[in-house]
């Protein structure tokens, strides 16, 4: 643990970033504006915006006096406009509550509009040299990889664990260098894809690197539950032959051969008679087959029907009877082939 901070500090001193327009200052206003601009935005994009913003609004008072439209105009193109509205609101709050003096405690700063725990920490570290942990997206990536922490980092229990870890890693000295080092490591070496581990100061202890888990960490956000859809597929059997139906050209499995599809709850024998022209006898249903598409999950109940009679008055366009082997070899969707392969094994 102690190694982590020391290695990062030494690396930052030699290889970190030292001349960004918001560095080499202890002005909490400049540090605050830069931290807000840097949320979800790359350094290269932020630099010209930051310089224009500082020229027009050089301090809290000038920002508070401007009208919101003008602040938003200076933000135009940076995106996430609530950040600009919150900056303006916080400048007004500083004028009213603190007589224009930027507050100095983490607690006070954390209560200003748009300033979360990590941003409040960065301001207190760089402006006042206080020892506070930061935990933005880049830092979460570094910590989950380096310490092999599973779970989506914004999930409350995981985030709580990461805050505790970030607190425990704080060095006794050089807090500014350490904090800047964490930011620099996450932004320049420990990137989302293709991190440059060979140049990383903490590579020797990095769990993700040692265990080959870099692609899995940080754990991605859990996907939302997929919509579920249930259908019945008719497995029409005559001797060793099976009926396949050509699917419409558009929609799922467009143009492939498949089993005739019926909505859940429909009378399958009636459908077989009216749509396919077949008199049938119901056989026991086969086990459910589930197939997952990117946007929904399909549950298929295969329903075998024994053919009794073909009704000549119903046209049978797009239908074909094939023996089982030929049917399995036809252009079928994977789950339908699975159903045919499973026939007779149940
Ligand atoms: S060794 Fe690689 S994965 Fe581990 S912290 Fe360094 S850059 Fe990130």
DSSP collapsed to 3 states, 49-84: HHHHHHHHCCCHHHHHHCCHHHHHHHHCCCCCCHHH
Report residue 1's pLDDT band, with 50, 70 and 90 as the boundaries. low
Ligand 1 contacts CB of residue 8 (under 6 A): no
Predicted local confidence at residue 167, as pLDDT? 98
- 333 pLDDT above the threshold of 90: no
Report residue 73's pLDDT band, with 50, 70 and 90 as the boundaries. confident
Active site residue 35: yes
Q: Which of 193, 195, 204, 215 to mutate to test the pocket of ligand 1 (most atoms within 8 A of CB)?
A: 195
Ligand 1 contacts CB of residue 189 (under 6 A): yes
Question: pLDDT per residue over 163-209, tens digit each?
Answer: 999 999 999 999 999 999 999 999 999 999 999 999 999 999 999 99
User: Which sign, positive or negative, has the C-alpha torsion 246, 250, 256, 258?
Assistant: negative
Residue 253 · residue 281 · CB < 8 Å: no
- 345 pLDDT above the threshold of 70: no
Q: What residue spans define the domains of the chain?
A: 2-216, 228-342
Write down the architecture of domain 2-216 according to CATH: Orthogonal Bundle (1.10)
- Dihedral angle, C-alpha 207, 213, 218, 219, nearest 10 °: -130
Question: pLDDT per residue over 235-251, tens digit each?
Answer: 999 988 999 998 887 77
Query: What is the distance in A from the centroid of ligand 1 to the CA of 202?
Result: 7
Beta-bridged to residue 292, according to DSSP, are: 297
Ligand 1 contacts CB of residue 197 (under 6 A): yes
Residue 134 · residue 118 · CB < 8 Å: yes
- Summarize the confidence of residues 299-303 as an average pLDDT: 95
- The length of the chain, given as a count of residues: 346
Q: Whose CA is nearest to atom 8 of ligand 1?
A: 190
Please provide the DSSP assignment of 190-244 as one string: S-SSS--GGG-TTGGG-HHHHTT-GGG-SPPPPPPPPPEEEEEEEEEEETTEEEE
- The pTM assigned to this predicted structure is 0.68
Residue 170 · residue 178 · CB < 8 Å: yes
Q: Could you give the CA distance from residue 262 to residue 250 in angstroms, rounded to a whole number?
A: 18
For residue 282, give the 3-state DSSP assignment: strand
Question: pLDDT per residue over 95-149, tens digit each?
Answer: 999 999 999 999 999 999 999 999 999 999 999 999 999 999 999 999 999 999 9
Write down the architecture of domain 228-342 according to CATH: Alpha-Beta Complex (3.90)
Ligand 1 contacts CB of residue 206 (under 6 A): yes
Q: Could you give the CA distance from residue 192 to residue 194 in angstroms, rounded to a whole number?
A: 7
Instruction: Return the half-sphere exposure (C-beta side, CA atoms, 13 A cut-off) of residue 239.
Output: 4
């Amino acid at each position: 643990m102690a190694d982590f901070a020391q290695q990062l500090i030494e690396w930052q001193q030699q290889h970190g970033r030292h001349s960004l327009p918001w560095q080499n200052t202890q002005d909490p206003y400049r540090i605050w504006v830069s931290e807000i601009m840097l949320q979800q935005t790359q350094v290269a994009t932020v630099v010209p915006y930051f310089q224009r913003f500082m020229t027009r609004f050089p301090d809290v008072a000038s920002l508070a006096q401007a009208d919101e439209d003008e602040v938003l105009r200076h933000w135009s193109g940076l995106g996430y406009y609530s950040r600009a509205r919150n900056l303006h609101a916080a400048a007004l709050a500083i004028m009213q509550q603190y007589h224009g003096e930027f507050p100095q405690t983490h607690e006070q700063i954390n209560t200003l509009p748009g300033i979360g725990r990590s941003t409040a920490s960065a301001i207190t570290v760089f402006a006042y040299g206080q020892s506070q942990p930061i935990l933005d997206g880049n830092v979460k990536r570094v910590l989950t990889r380096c310490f092999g922490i599973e779970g989506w980092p914004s999930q409350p229990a995981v985030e709580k664990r990461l805050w505790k870890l970030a607190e425990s890693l704080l060095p006794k000295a050089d807090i500014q260098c350490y904090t800047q080092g964490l930011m620099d490591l996450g932004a320049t070496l420990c990137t989302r894809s293709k991190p440059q581990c060979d140049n990383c100061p903490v590579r020797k202890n990095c769990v993700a690197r040692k265990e080959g888990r870099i692609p899995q960490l940080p754990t991605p956000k859990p996907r939302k539950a997929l919509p579920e859809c249930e259908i019945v597929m008719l497995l029409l059997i005559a001797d060793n032959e099976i009926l396949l139906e050509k699917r419409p050209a558009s929609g799922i499995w467009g143009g492939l051969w498949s089993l005739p599809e019926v909505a859940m709850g429909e009378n399958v024998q009636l459908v077989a008679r009216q749509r396919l022209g077949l008199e049938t006898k119901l056989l026991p249903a086969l086990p459910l087959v589930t197939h997952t598409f990117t946007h929904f999950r399909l549950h298929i109940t295969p329903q075998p029907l024994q053919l009794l009679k073909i009704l000549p008055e119903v046209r049978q366009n797009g239908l074909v009877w094939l023996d089982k082997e030929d049917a399995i070899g036809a252009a079928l969707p994977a789950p339908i082939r699975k159903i045919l392969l499973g026939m007779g094994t149940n």
